[in-house]
Amino acid sequence: MASSSTSPHQKSFKYHVFLSFRGEDTRKTFVDHLYAYLKQKGIHTFRDNEELKKGKRIDELFKAIEESKFFIIVFSKNYASSSWCLKELAKIMECQDENEQIAYPLFYDVEPSDIRKRSGPVGRAIAKHKSNEQIKKWEKALESAGNLVGWDLKNIANGHETEAIKKIGEEISLKLRSIHLSNDENLIGMDRRMQELESSLGIGLNDKARMIGIKGMGGIGKTTLARSIFNKVSSLFEGSCFVDDVREVSKKKGLRSLQKRVLSDVLNIEHRGSVLDGEKIMRTRLRYIKVLLVLDDVDNPKQLEALAGDWFKDGSRIIITTRDEKVLLAHGVNAKWIHDVDFLSDEEAMSLFSRYAFKRYIPDQGFEKLSSEVVCYSAGLPLTIKVLGSHLCGEEEVLWIDALKRLETIPSLETLEVLEISYDGLEDDLKEIFLDVACFMVGFPKDDAIRAIDSCGFRGIYGLRVLEQKSLITIFHNGLGMHDRIEELGKNIVRRSHPREPNKHSRLWIREEIEELFTDNVGTEASTCTGLELELTEVSPEIIIKGLGNLKKLRYLFLTGSDDDRFPSDWKFDKEKQYFPNSLQLLNWNGYPGPFLPQTFQANNLVALQLPDSRIVQLWEGRERKVLKKLKFLDLSCSKVRTFDFGMTPNLERLELRGCHDLIQLHVPPGCLKRLVYLDLLWCSSSVSFSFIKQLESLELLSLPDLLVSAVCLEEFPRYSRNKLPKLRFIFDYSKDQSSSNGTSLECVLLDLQPCTKLESVSESICGLQHIRRLTLDGCIPEVPKDIDQLKCLEELTLYSTHVICLPDSVCMLKHLKSLKLKDCRYLEELPENLGLLEHLEELSLSSTSIRRLPDSICMLKQLLSLKLKSCLLLQELPNDLGQLDCLEKLNLLSTGIRSLPDSICMLKHLQYLNLESCQLLEKLPEDIGQLECLEELNLKKCASLEDIPNSICKMKCLRYFYLPFCSRVQKLPEELGSLECLEELDINCTGINHLPRSIFLLKYLRIVGSESLLQSCALATATEIQTSETETFTQALDNTGTETKTGLRNQFTENYCNSYSRRQVDTVVLVSGDGVGGGVVGDAGGDTSKSLKEKGKVFELQPTSQYRKKPYSPCHTLV
């Protein structure tokens, strides 16, 4: 049976603070003001008149105490006279002793000694309860509370209540900063996502108010992420508010209700007016308060207009979660601040599932394989993992097996209900597109999917964009993707009304159902079917083909997998039978077996016909000439087609005949090619006449077999068509000794000669292509045309591995050039002196060239974002004014001859990436390098001459990755390195460092890389500093687990580090051994101990460098 044991995780709490006080003394004065301030700081506080209605029992009050992390006990003169207050106090002290809760006494108008000794007014008040049998318990609680560290009001801010309340609130805020409170304690993998979000938040910057978007499909963890970040940083703002479920509240109660919530939480005012009144109040009041506002599950721009206008004070942050990216963009949220929540990794998914199914981090013995199947099914979606984990928790193995089999046909209802919210919000045509994609098009190239959707009368480009914005599909590498559970949702929508009656389904894709439908000859009843997909390898093609004609409303038909064994070479359609319904708008049959289309097929609705790798010889048999007036897309690539008559496809836009080796004739009546934009004739017979080229008016891409044919084709373009084909692109395959000599024949946008490795020259006439935006030259060309400045529209110039020695000065006149890539041009020795005239240049790549210096004018490139100088071995210095590159974000100097960096480099305020790896001659860094406040990665690997790390580096608040391996002369790190609060990875392998600064223990999520000998020496160096103060704490932690540790140097090292982190709520610390020798808790402290510490969430791991994974890094376990 799967375990249902108690969770080893730290307890989660509903409330941050519980206020205990005597109402008649302080409710309307001090406590009221304290409560308002805590609420404004985003500290969720319980006080009885807010949360506990009259008539409720004391046990409900006790529940609130149990659900609070901190207690503030306001001791006043009459506090002890109330039995209710004393019962609260006794319960509070009990919780502090037994749980992870902390109580703070606040002495309002009494002395601490009066509480401890029950003297003065406290003694007189407690005397009233002498007859109560609980008096001893209450007296003990008073004594214990009086001995706690807290606040004496008269000694705080000279007794000024307002200042005292502020100080108390700030102290509580600091204590909460590292505690992530949540209703869901199983926050696996959240740290990685929070780090990415925190970098966008820019906490502490007083720049213009930022709106941050969190986007993703339902159930992926948007709300959990927003809640976690809110709980962590809300105390840093003057006001904060988390508005849950904006979509539902807006629908049921209106926008005014949402405004009321914001104004109450942030300004502590009651809003009773209209939505417009609420906007006016926000506009006039919120401009003076730095606010953190979270709007969860927004689905309409009007919600943002009412709650998040342009009325926030500088430094404010507004976090918006949504399924629909369009809502964010419509409100003006900067695309760079929109975060997609990614799916859980397999490791994270297994940990999360185990937390719900087994109440620990790993599956119970015997359930490993079944757990892997569940994780595989969930495909990284947290919602599915939680639902299935909770459902299977405590169940027998046989039920697990049965439940998994059930999921193959019946999906989890709880998951589908959440996901279907996005589907319900679609318009009718978009619902049809969604169902078509879910059933047939997952994995399609985007362009193919658009053509398929367009062929059925919908708008493919718009439809897919909306589905992508609503997180229902993904488009990656131009391919269409969909999460398994969303695909399951679409198919479930199609089947659920009639699960056992496939003849009533609108779409068919299950082989057994289709075969049964056609075998029983009930296809005529499938009158509602609009799409069918089937692989023919395991079914009788005769049965399927004969049954298709009965599907009178069929729009889509996708068939694959036919082969020669099933269809003899002389196979033909019967001339009398109806094989394809005339309603078809898209016919896709890979390996179509017939030489012609069926004679009974009218095809008058056909928009897309795709028959690649087929036996088709021509569209219609003999002299039959059916004109396909609606046909726009035709793919006959790699088929047996011999002749093609454009007269039968007058509106064709795209024709693919690639690899049709038998093609001998293209018949083109006048006026038939006006709409053709794509023509692919690669690897066709060179004997085909191309005289039709002169009829092309809309062509955008021409793909031709080789230079000989290409040259003939291009010469047939009349000169007057130069301006008629402004978008034309070419794909050529040049041979040696040929040159591009037809530049003046036409104008195109892209000319890619990268595959032409034998091309030895480029004619000056190429400069006649005045509309070209991208030019790529790769190979042996010795020079760039001198008149290249005639390419007025050129934005990207790429020269890879050429023999170019220098660039002509005319390059500097390319006013629109954004990218100049000269990688691996090993003969290139110098750049034009006026290179700085390229005022729009954003990317300059000079890697692996022979340049010795950069022209001073390069500092004039104000738009430059990336400068790559990797492996420029002869480059020894940089321009002194390099700091004038205001926008520079990436600077790569790997393996250069640089000896020093100019001081001005410290002025690069936007620099995020600086790579100085293998700069063997670099002796020092600028003293003020810490001014690079946006730097995220600093790589100093193998800087053998480098001796010191400037102290100013500790000012790099955004630094995440700091690499120092093989810097053998570096002896120490700055003592304040712990102020690098974002630092995730520190690599000090093979350095002279033998001591880690104490401040480094303040860092969260830190990963230290080093050799075992270095880590051992660090243990010795730190032992005298921290072992004495921390050993007791660590020993107690081990005693609680009921295990013992081994002795020895590595254990000493482990103890020191784990102790230092144990009091700082650290999630994960990983130490990586560079020489492959394990150690620390996981590697060397014994199985029981490592397991117990893992369960506490304090992980210390040593592992070989070969296993070292660079960013992104997902920690093994996470404290929440």
Each residue's pLDDT tens digit, 914-963? 999 999 999 999 999 999 989 999 999 999 999 999 999 999 989 999 99
Q: What is the pLDDT, as a whole number, of residue 927?
A: 93
The tokens of 61 are what? 């009050």
Q: What is the pLDDT, as a whole number, of residue 691?
A: 63
Of 755 and 425, which is predicted with more confidence? 425
Sign of CA dihedral 356, 357, 362, 368: negative
Between the alpha carbon of residue 556 and those of residues 170, 452, 585, the distances in Å are 64, 8, 6
Give a yes or no: residue 867 inside a domain.
no
The tokens of 735 are what? 């041979």
Q: What is the pLDDT, as a whole number, of residue 665?
A: 81
Q: What is the pLDDT, as a whole number, of residue 1065?
A: 33
Q: What is the pLDDT, as a whole number, of residue 747?
A: 38
Q: What is the pLDDT, as a whole number, of residue 1046?
A: 31
Give a yes or no: residue 600 inside a domain.
no
Q: Are residues 170 and 205 in the same domain?
A: no
Q: Are residues 155 and 200 in the same domain?
A: no
Q: What is the pLDDT, as a whole number, of residue 105?
A: 93
Of 845 and 418, which is predicted with more confidence? 845
> For residue 1052, is pLDDT > 60?
no
Q: Are residues 23 and 73 in the same domain?
A: yes
Considering all CA atoms of the chain, what is the largest pairwise distance in Å, rounded to the nearest integer?
116
The tokens of 317 are what? 């942050």
The percent of residues in the chain predicted with pLDDT above 70, rounded, is 77
Q: What is the pLDDT, as a whole number, of residue 1075?
A: 36
876 contact partners, CB below 8 Å, separation of at least 6 = 852, 853, 896, 897, 898, 899, 921
Place of tokens 């036409």: 746
Place of tokens 């994780």: 375
> For residue 700, is pLDDT > 70?
no
Q: Are residues 204 and 328 in the same domain?
A: yes
Distance CA 841, CA 851 (A): 19
> For residue 173, is pLDDT > 60?
yes
Q: What is the pLDDT, as a whole number, of residue 914?
A: 97
- Residue at a domain's end among 321, 340, 359: 340
The tokens of 756 are what? 């032409």
Q: What is the pLDDT, as a whole number, of residue 1018?
A: 52
The tokens of 754 are what? 């990268």
> Residue 1059 has what DSSP assignment?
H
> For residue 876, is pLDDT > 70?
yes
> For residue 639, is pLDDT > 70?
yes
Of 395 and 477, which is predicted with more confidence? 395
Query: How many residues are listed for the chain in this entry?
Result: 1120
CB pairs under 8 A, 24+ apart, for 979-985? 979/954, 979/955, 980/953, 980/954, 980/956, 981/957, 982/195, 982/198, 982/199, 982/936, 982/957, 982/958, 983/959, 984/195, 984/960, 984/1111, 984/1113, 985/960, 985/961, 985/1009, 985/1110, 985/1111, 985/1113
Least confident span in 625-634, 689-698, 895-904, 985-994: 689-698
Q: Are residues 200 and 171 in the same domain?
A: no
> For residue 996, is pLDDT > 80?
yes
Greatest mean pLDDT among 430-434, 693-697, 1046-1050 lies in: 430-434
Distance CA 46, CA 1054 (A): 40
CB 240 within 8 A of CB 266: yes
Give a yes or no: residue 985 inside a domain.
no
Give a yes or no: residue 377 inside a domain.
yes
CB 473 within 8 A of CB 480: yes
Query: Residues 1001-1038: pLDDT tens digits?
Result: 777 668 888 766 666 555 444 432 322 222 222 222 22
- Residue at a domain's end among 300, 324, 340: 340
> For residue 1044, is pLDDT > 50?
no
Q: Which residue from 170, 192, 190, 169 is spatially nearest to 180, judged by alpha carbons?
A: 190
Distance CA 896, CA 878 (A): 11
Distance CA 512, CA 535 (A): 11
Query: Residues 953-962: pLDDT tens digits?
Result: 999 989 999 9
> For residue 1082, is pLDDT > 60?
no
Distance CA 312, CA 601 (A): 65
Other beta carbons less than 10 A from residue 367's beta carbon: 20
CB pairs under 8 A, 24+ apart, for 936-940? 936/199, 936/912, 936/960, 936/961, 936/982, 937/912, 937/913, 937/961, 937/962, 937/963, 938/914, 938/962, 938/963, 939/894, 939/914, 939/915, 939/963, 940/916, 940/964, 940/967
Q: Which residue from 594, 596, 592, 520 is spatially nearest to 557, judged by alpha carbons?
A: 592
Q: What is the pLDDT, as a whole number, of residue 578?
A: 67
Instruction: Give me the DSSP letters along 983-1012.
Output: --EEE-TTSS-----GGGGG-SS-EEEE-H
> Residue 619 has what DSSP assignment?
S
The tokens of 782 are what? 């010795």
Q: How confident is the model at residue 706 (pLDDT cuts 50, 70, 90)?
A: very low
Q: Are residues 222 and 257 in the same domain?
A: yes
Give a yes or no: residue 894 inside a domain.
no
Q: Are residues 209 and 334 in the same domain?
A: yes
- Domains held by the chain: number: 4
Mean pLDDT in residue range 629-636? 91
Q: What is the CATH classification number for the domain harbouring 135?
A: 3.40.50.10140
Sign of CA dihedral 162, 163, 167, 173: positive
Half-sphere exposure of 469 (CA within 13 A, CB side): 19
CB 314 within 8 A of CB 288: no
Domain ranges, residue 95:
15-176
Greatest mean pLDDT among 329-333, 414-418, 700-704, 887-891 lies in: 887-891
Q: Are residues 240 and 106 in the same domain?
A: no
Query: Residues 603-625: pLDDT tens digits?
Result: 889 999 999 988 898 899 888 88
Q: How confident is the model at residue 5 (pLDDT cuts 50, 70, 90)?
A: very low
Query: Residues 414-456: pLDDT tens digits?
Result: 778 888 888 888 888 999 999 999 998 888 888 888 988 988 8
**3-class SS letters over 497-519:** CCCCCHHHCCEECCHHHHHHHHH
Give a yes or no: residue 53 inside a domain.
yes
Query: Residues 36-72: pLDDT tens digits?
Result: 888 877 788 898 864 444 445 677 788 889 989 899 9
Q: What is the pLDDT, as a whole number, of residue 522?
A: 57
Other beta carbons less than 10 A from residue 54's beta carbon: 6
Place of tokens 């608040």: 957
781 contact partners, CB below 8 Å, separation of at least 6 = 759, 760, 761, 762, 802, 803, 804
Q: What is the CATH classification number for the domain harbouring 274?
A: 3.40.50.300
CB 306 within 8 A of CB 327: no
Distance CA 245, CA 295 (A): 8
Distance CA 1015, CA 1054 (A): 10
Q: Are residues 396 and 256 in the same domain?
A: no
Of 243 and 418, which is predicted with more confidence? 243
Q: Are residues 164 and 238 in the same domain?
A: no
Half-sphere exposure of 1034 (CA within 13 A, CB side): 22
Q: What is the pLDDT, as a whole number, of residue 915?
A: 96
Per the rule left: phi > 0, alpha: psi between -120 and 50, beta: everything else, 794 is beta
Give a yes or no: residue 312 inside a domain.
yes
The tokens of 227 are what? 């809640």
**3-class SS letters over 94-134:** HHHHHCCCEEEEEECCCCHHHHHHCCHHHHHHHHHHCCCCC
Q: How confident is the model at residue 258 (pLDDT cuts 50, 70, 90)?
A: very high
3-state secondary structure of 660: coil
Q: Are residues 172 and 271 in the same domain?
A: no
Give a yes or no: residue 78 inside a domain.
yes
- Residue at a domain's end among 300, 322, 340: 340
Q: What is the CA radius of gyration of the chain?
A: 36
Is the preceding omega at residue 926 within 30 degrees of 0, hence cis? no
Q: Are residues 232 and 357 in the same domain?
A: no
Residues catalogued as catalytic: 88
The percent of residues in the chain predicted with pLDDT above 90, rounded, is 26
> For residue 1, is pLDDT > 90?
no
**3-class SS letters over 397-432:** HHHHHHHHHHHCCCCCHHHHHHHHHHHHCCCHHHHH
The tokens of 639 are what? 């088929």
Dihedral in degrees, nearest 10, Cα atoms 380, 384, 390, 393: -60
* β 474-476/479-481 pair status: antiparallel
Q: What is the pLDDT, as a whole number, of residue 659?
A: 85
